[in-house]
Amino acid sequence: MGLNFDTESVTPALVCVECGHGMDRTSGPCAPGPGACALCFFCGSLNVFDADMRFRRPTDAEVFAVARDEDFQRARRAILEVQNYGTPKA
Ligand SMILES: [Zn+2]
**1 Cα–ligand 1 center, Å:** 26
The structural domain count of the chain equals: 1
**17 Cα–ligand 1 center, Å:** 7
Answer whether 33's CB lies under 8 Å from 49's CB.
yes
Is 70 exceeded by the pLDDT of residue 5?
A: yes
Range of the domain at 66: 7-84
pTM metric for this prediction: 0.84
**90 Cα–ligand 1 center, Å:** 24
Q: How many helices (H) and strands (E) does the chain have?
A: 2, 5
**77 Cα–ligand 1 center, Å:** 14
User: Among candidates 21, 23, 18, 22, which has minimal Cα distance to 9?
Assistant: 23
Asked whether residue 66 is assigned to any structural domain, the reply reads yes
Asked whether residue 42 is assigned to any structural domain, the reply reads yes
User: For the segment 52-71, what is each residue's pLDDT rounded down to a tens digit?
Assistant: 999 999 999 999 999 999 98
CA distance 35 to 38: 10
Asked whether residue 90 is assigned to any structural domain, the reply reads no
Asked whether residue 45 is assigned to any structural domain, the reply reads yes
User: For the segment 12-65, what is each residue's pLDDT rounded down to a tens digit?
Assistant: 999 999 999 999 999 988 899 999 999 998 999 999 999 999 999 999 999 999
Asked whether residue 89 is assigned to any structural domain, the reply reads no
**43 Cα–ligand 1 center, Å:** 4
Contacts of 5 (CB under 8 A, 6+ apart): 27, 28, 29
Asked whether residue 1 is assigned to any structural domain, the reply reads no
